[in-house]
Structure 1
Amino acid sequence: MDWLQAVLLAILQGLTEFLPISSSAHLILPSQILGWVEQGLAFDVAVHVGSLAAVLIYFRREVADMIAAWFSWVFKGEKSANGRLAWAVLWGTIPVGLVGIVFSYFKIVDNYLRTTEVIAATTILFALVLWWADSQAKQQRDEHSIKVKDIIFIGCAQALALIPGTSRSGITMTAALMMGLTRTAAARFSFLLSIPAIVLPGGLKSYELATSGMPVDWGLIALGAGVSAIAALTCIHYFLILLDRVGFKPFIYYRLLLGVVLIWIIKQG
């Protein structure tokens, strides 16, 4: 991988990690259309670290308040809206963690699901589900009003994102809309939920990298992490600004178009 490819892939990862358009669907396109080689484990870890840094920077005040409120809840019994939100993020991560362990042990994704056919199908299917959820959404609640049933539903929906092409951000926003959250609240909760969702697999990949003994191009790694962080930070900022103005329809149309492109690639191959 050369420097230009690294920059383009890092931008792609940073943008698609948080938009409801599926990062896995986009990351196969360079190899399918341009013939680029796979980005590799080290670079994959780097761009995910960049994405994680972006969401932590953008929501630094919220995260700090949630951590403080959670400790006050656990050790002092002081319940609060921020403490409830912290619990929601923690409990909402359990389904994807459990399903991820099973998928990883049996190598379900690598052996059966990481195909262009699956990604094309899920890209289109979950675009239609998002369209339905957005058109039917009551949009009456913010993220601090999340209850147990919301956590279970959104958490289980996030587990579906282990299927390539689903989009973690897309499916969690879809589920949050179904539970009555506003578009902005759905997006904000999805971004907060992404923190442990990135940390857990990122930690596993980091361990695999550390024990693999493979050589690492640290310059390329630093570039990927930095560019991914800038792209993701920009994406989060403008997505939240534009969401109430344009809604999800542009992303739904884009997903449908992307699905058609992937089907075309399949037919060509």
Structure 2
Amino acid sequence: MASTITEFSHLQMPLEDILEATNHFDDKNVIGHGGLGKVYKGKLLRFGKLVNIAARRLDTKHKRGIEFWTEISAISNEKVIINKHEAKRSLVMYLSNPTLSWVQRLKICVGVARALSYIHYENGRSYSVLFSEAIGTTGYMDLTIQKTGGVTYKSDIYSFGVVLWEVLCGRKAFMPNCFNRLLVPLAKFHFEASTVNAIMLTWLLQNRLSLDSVQIFTSVAYSCLKDERVLRPDMNNIVYELEKALEFQLPYEIYIVRY
């Protein structure tokens, strides 16, 4: 454990800096809620530059969290994950927005997939297993965690698969007031029945879509949700498939040229 703590010691920062950046975790700065707690926006001075950040603060009722390393929990009292925050709004705000075209949605998915691929292979996450209690946001969490107690990179892939279906269907993974509250079983049912069109965004179907693009996209999204982790693809393969889906769609885009 000591070697791991040393390895990540450069990522630690004074709590006072985070408190100042988020105005002492003021509720006015809340930009989201996750299974582990609230997410706060803020501005943090790092290396002489003011950087927009998103601070995920672990709720005190969760003594352990699958997204927080055990080593970090052992050496800190206040548990906050800091990320650079570049987007003014979350993707969830645009899921059903018709201004976000199919090509734009594909580009977003490719970008996220590349980032996850980097984390898995450049930071060695694909070789690690974390055993902890099952804690996560409803609708996104790999159900296998509840059976095995272990979290691996294939758990990330499950959650990413859920996001892919959100992008295609224009709805959140969990909608408590909806008849089909959970998106995953709905997506699986319609994919296996070859009726994905029934849950796709209606306005997407009214646009010029490459059938190959949609087929590739839905196939990879479905494979991410496989119950057996070994059957789920790795991120490099997902990146390849999503880039191919994007490539098939590009010729269908209409460009308006002004002279």
Normalising by the residue count of structure 1, what TM-score does the alignment of the two structures yield? 0.32
The structure richer in strand per residue is: 2
